[in-house]
Homo-oligomer: A and B are copies of this chain.
Amino acid sequence: MASGNISTKQPWQMTATEVLPRLKSGKLTVVDYSKSLLERIHTRDQVVKAWVWLPPSTILQRAKELDSLPFDRRGPLHGLPVGVKDVILTKDMPTQYNSRTLESEEPSGIDANVIMSLRAMGALIFGKTATTEFASSKQGGWHQNLTCNPQDPKRTPGGSSSGSGAAVADFQIPVSLGTQTGGSIVRPASFNGCYGFKPTHGAISREGLAQWCPTLDTCGFFVRSMDDLELLANAFRLTDDSPVPSQRFELRSAKIGMCKTYNWSKAGPGTVKAMSRAQELLQQHGANVEDVVLPDDFANVLDWHAAVLVGEGQTSFLGQYLLDRERLHESIASYVDNTKKLTHKEFLDAYDNVARLRPAFDDIASKYDLILTPSVVDEAPLGLENTGDMSMCSMWTILHVPALNLIGFAGENGLPIGLTAVGARYTDRHLLHVSKAVADVFEGEGGWKMAPRS
C-alpha cells in the first residue's frame, strides 16, 4: 500500500522491493541511487539526526564497485543500502555504542555475522545509526546528537534503535538493522511509523552485536513495506517447519486473537483506540476476532524480564567498567555494581519461570492465525531524553517469539501508533504471511498514512 505509483517516485522514496530489480538490471545505478539517498539525508538529517557515521566517499566508492559487477554476479540484495545501529560491528566503520568508553574514529576491523551475510548478498553498508548507550534503556549520557522523531522533531524517536527507526520512517534509507532487548525495535517502529520486525530469538546470528542480555538481545529490521520483510526473511533463510502457501492469506474466516496482556492498564488513549479500531477493521474484512486472555503466570513476566536485564547486565559491562568506569554512564555502572541487590536465586527463578511459559505461549499462539497486541503505551512522548516506555514489548522479547510492528493508526496528536503481531517461536514466515494481509487493511483504512515529511 505504501508503494503508490512507482513511476513518479524519486529513488529515495522506493522500498527495497521496488528498487532492487532496477539496481540488478542496471536501470538505476547504485551510485545514482546512493546519491539520491545522500541528498535526502542531507536535506533532512540536520533535523532528524539519525546518523552517527555516514561516509559519502566510502559509500560512493563501494557503489561504484557494485555497479561494475557483471549482471550474473549480482547478489540477491545487490546495491541495497542498509543503515546499521551503532552497536553492530562493521569492519569499515567505527562502532561506538554511544559510549564515551568506546569513542573512536577507527573502523571496527571486523564485521558482525549479520553484516558478513549482508555484504555477501551485495548489500551496501551505508552508515551507522544513533543508539542509546550500549542499547540500554536508560537515557542521558549521550555524547552525540539526540535523534528526533521525523514526524515531530520535538518528540522522541524511541530507543534504543533510535536512528534506525527514524532513518527508515523518514525515507533516508530503505532498510536498517536494529536490536531489541526490551522494546528497541518495535517501539521506535511504532513511534516513527514504519515496520519493525524482531524475529524469533536466535533465528539471526548475534555475533558481533553489543551484548547486554544474551537471553534477550535480538537483531531485526526496519523497513517501509511488508514485501521488504519477506525479502529479508528469504535472505536470512528464516524458515518455518510448515512452509507458508504461495497464495495470499485471506482474512475472511481468519482467526485473530487480540491480547491486551497484564500491562493493559498502562495503555493510553491512542493505543486503546488503535486496538479497538483494528478489531473493527478485521471484523469488517470477515475475520473472527477473539480476546486472548493469558494465564495468571504471565502477569509476572515483566518482573522476570527486569531481573534478566539486571542479572545479565552485571556480567556484560564488566570489561568497560574495569577499564574506564568514570566514562561509563552511571546506569550502566550500576548493573556491574548490582545496586539493585538482585540475588542469583531471583535471577535463576526468572530464567526458569519464563522458560516454562515459552512453550505455553507457543501453544496459545498456535490456536490463532495471528495475535495482535499493543506496541507502545501511546504516541511518541514529547522530549528527547526519555525514549519512552518499553513495557508493551518486553514480554514478547523474553518469550523469544517473533514480533512485528504494524502501522496504520494515529494517536490524539496525529502521530503514528503501531500494533504488534506476534506468533509462536519459529513461525516467523507464517507471521509475515498473515501480517501482510492485515497490514494492507491497516495501512489502507486505519487512518495514518506513511509519507515523507519535509
Contacts and interface: CB of A to CB of B under 8 A. Distances in A.
B319 A116 contact: yes
Contact of A322 (B120, B312, B343): B120
A109 interface: yes
Interface of A: 89, 106-117, 119-121, 202-207, 210-211, 214-215, 236-237, 239-241, 311-312, 315-316, 318-320, 322-323, 343-345, 347-348, 351-352, 355-356, 358-359, 362, 425-426
Contacts of A203: 315
B358 A352 contact: yes
15 contacts: A107-B109, A108-B110, A110-B110, A113-B319, A115-B319, A116-B323, A117-B319, A120-B323, A205-B318, A207-B210, A237-B318, A240-B344, A348-B362, A351-B358, A355-B356
Contacts of A358: 348, 351-352, 355
Nearest to A214: B214
Given A113-B320, A202-B315, A355-B355, 20 more contacts: A107-B109, A109-B109, A112-B319, A116-B319, A116-B320, A121-B322, A203-B315, A204-B315, A205-B211, A205-B316, A207-B319, A239-B344, A240-B344, A241-B344, A348-B426, A351-B358, A352-B355, A352-B359, A355-B358, A356-B356
A322 B426 contact: no
Give the number of times this chain occurs in the complex, counting copies: 2
Contacts of A205: 211, 315-316, 318-319
- List the 3 closest pairs (A to B, CB-CB), nearest first: A116-B319, A109-B109, A355-B355
A322 B109 CA distance: 19
A39 B348 CA distance: 46
A152 to B, nearest CB: 36
Contacts of A108: 109-110
